[in-house]
């Protein structure tokens, strides 16, 4: 086994960590088509080196000794309708991370984790409740996308047999950094992974979204990277007193600073930031909250995504009732703020926003969702 990665503590070297140039250097003196075959295997087939059958056996074995997949599947769960799939992974050092794939009519989106756990301590978020373990490496971030792509492809192949290509598409079209962790706290690796998603996975910047709790220096830095990646800001409160309480990092980066960062992002990239707002019953769903949000959204030149708060074990408050969400959305709309209400996905398999806790879900297989154990629990 190779030495632990200095920055992440990851114990393996994932074959998806090196760039193509770095792989060329690692392979050394081999014909160029070998690199093409390796690349095709890693990125088109989503195979680990030992399974890339076009490579000679000795080469597979040699690479396989030096590079191993960093995420080991522990369990896979599917929602009752089959359109939401969640994976629980274990890293070599025993951290647990989760990934969620969501199929919609015309797109398939994977929600990936950037850290094992999270240090931001937002009380309503299951990951925050569990605390921080470590940053994920580039390979650990990308392996989640590899798994999602493979799943899309397998699903399509299955359906082609019995449904002759009918039904929604199964091509991975979007990646959102909205799983476990704060992507901008793991800035360098998230940026590298984002670039690699564009170059090696062929995803357009507009099909990638990074969601941040609001780390202002990194938001500004990201605006200058020259990428047209989507940026989502988890606001949840539009006055500092309430936000200090809900999102503790607000004590460091106030709402006024966030507004400046959003405007700057728009100026530099031409892309509007989207404000995420988890609707919490009686906490941030009143008319007065809507009015404050209208002011911030206008100043920030942002549009707004409303998400009903999902229940988590460590937080007593519940999500707003549908009627209140509709009323809130209507109030924003009447003030010309662009607003969407996000559908709740994956609640039956604990795969909805903020529910990723890295431990096994309490959902049992049976009536609705299905769980496949991929490895015995330790
Ligand atoms: N740390 C990043 C990304 C991960 S969380 C961020 O804060 O943006 C992804 C989104 O889910 C964030 O908007 C987060 O605030 C939201 N979220 C967390 N817990 C939630 C919950 N219980 N219900 C609904 N949304 C939640």
Nearest CA to ligand 1 atom 12: 234
Q: Count CA atoms within 13 Å of residue 65 on its CB side.
A: 5
> Does 8 map to a domain?
no
Q: With a 6 A CB cut-off, is 278 part of the ligand 1 pocket? A: yes
230 and 344 housed in the same domain: yes
Q: What is the DSSP string of 137-164?
A: PHHHHHHHHHHHHHHHHHHHHHHHHHHT
Are 74 and 375 spatial neighbours (Cβ–Cβ below 8 Å)? yes
Alpha helices for 229-340 (secondary structure H): 240-246, 255-269, 287-300, 322-334
> Does 52 map to a domain?
yes
Q: Is the pLDDT of residue 254 over 90?
A: yes
In angstroms, rounded to a whole number, what is the distance separating the alpha carbons of residues 76 and 150? 13
62 and 79 housed in the same domain: no
281 and 165 housed in the same domain: yes
> Does 42 map to a domain?
yes
The pLDDT of residue 38: 97
Total count of domains within the chain: 2
230 and 321 housed in the same domain: yes
173 and 210 housed in the same domain: yes
Mean predicted confidence (pLDDT) in 135-149:
97
Q: With a 6 A CB cut-off, is 182 part of the ligand 1 pocket? A: yes
Q: Provide the residue range defining the domain that includes 56.
A: 20-66
Ranking 2-6, 24-28, 73-77 by mean pLDDT, the lowest is 2-6
Q: In a mutational test of the pocket of ligand 1, which residue from 111, 121, 123, 125 has the highest number of ligand atoms less than 8 Å from its CB?
A: 125
102 and 241 housed in the same domain: yes
Q: Is the pLDDT of residue 88 over 90?
A: yes
151 and 59 housed in the same domain: no
The predicted-structure confidence for 162-208, as pLDDT tens digits, reads as follows: 544 455 558 999 999 999 999 999 999 999 999 999 999 999 999 99
Residues, the chain, total?
A: 378
Q: With a 6 A CB cut-off, is 37 part of the ligand 1 pocket? A: no
Q: With a 6 A CB cut-off, is 274 part of the ligand 1 pocket? A: no
Q: With a 6 A CB cut-off, is 71 part of the ligand 1 pocket? A: no
Q: Is the pLDDT of residue 261 over 60?
A: yes
Q: Of residues 356 and 6, which shows the higher confidence score? A: 356
58 and 120 housed in the same domain: no
348 and 251 housed in the same domain: yes
Q: Computed from CA positions of residues 59, 197, 97, 218, in that sequence, does the dihedral angle turn out positive or negative?
A: positive
Catalytic residue positions?
Answer: 98, 353
> Does 6 map to a domain?
no
> Quick one: pLDDT band at residue 5, thresholds 50, 70, 90?
very low
Q: In a mutational test of the pocket of ligand 1, which residue from 353, 355, 356, 357 has the highest number of ligand atoms less than 8 Å from its CB?
A: 353
44 and 88 housed in the same domain: no
Mean pLDDT of the chain: 90
215 three-state secondary structure: coil
Q: Which atom of ligand 1 is nearest to the CA of 211?
A: 8
Mean predicted confidence (pLDDT) in 12-39:
93
Mean predicted confidence (pLDDT) in 76-91:
95
């Amino acid at each position: 086994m190779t030495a632990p990665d200095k920055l992440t503590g990851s114990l393996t070297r994932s074959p998806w960590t090196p760039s193509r140039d770095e792989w060329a250097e690692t392979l050394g003196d081999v014909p160029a088509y070998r690199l093409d075959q390796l690349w095709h295997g890693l990125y088109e087939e989503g195979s680990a080196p030992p399974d890339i059958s076009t490579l000679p056996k000795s080469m597979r074995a040699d690479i396989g000794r030096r590079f191993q997949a960093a995420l080991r599947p522990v369990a896979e769960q599917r929602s009752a309708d089959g359109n939401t799939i969640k994976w629980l992974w274990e890293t070599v050092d025993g951290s647990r991370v989760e990934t969620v794939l969501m199929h919609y009519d015309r797109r398939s989106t994977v929600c990936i984790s950037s850290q094992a756990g999270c240090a931001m301590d937002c009380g309503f978020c299951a990951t925050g409740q569990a605390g921080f373990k470590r940053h994920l490496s580039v390979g650990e971030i990308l392996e989640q996308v590899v798994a999602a792509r493979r799943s899309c492809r397998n699903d399509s192949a299955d359906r082609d047999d019995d449904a002759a290509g009918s039904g929604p598409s199964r091509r991975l079209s979007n990646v959102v950094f909205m799983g476990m962790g704060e992507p901008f706290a793991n800035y360098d690796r998230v940026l590298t992974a984002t670039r690699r998603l564009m170059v090696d996975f062929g995803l357009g910047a507009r099909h990638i979204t990074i969601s941040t709790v609001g780390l202002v220096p990194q938001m500004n830095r990201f605006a200058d990277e020259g990428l047209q990646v989507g940026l989502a800001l988890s606001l949840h409160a539009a006055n500092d007193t309430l936000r200090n309480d809900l999102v503790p990092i607000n004590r460091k980066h106030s709402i006024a600073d966030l507004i400046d960062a959003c405007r700057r992002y728009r100026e530099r990239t031409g892309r509007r930031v989207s404000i995420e707002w988890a609707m919490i019953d009686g906490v941030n769903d009143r008319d007065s909250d809507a009015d404050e949000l209208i002011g911030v959204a206008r100043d920030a030149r942002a549009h707004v995504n409303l998400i009903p708060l999902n229940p988590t074990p460590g937080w007593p408050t519940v999500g707003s009732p549908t009627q209140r969400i509709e009323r809130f959305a209507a109030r924003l709309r009447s003030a010309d703020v662009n607003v969407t209400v996000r559908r709740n996905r994956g609640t039956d398999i604990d795969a909805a926003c903020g529910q990723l806790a890295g431990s096994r879900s309490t959902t049992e297989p049976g009536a609705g969702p299905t769980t496949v154990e991929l490895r015995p629990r330790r």
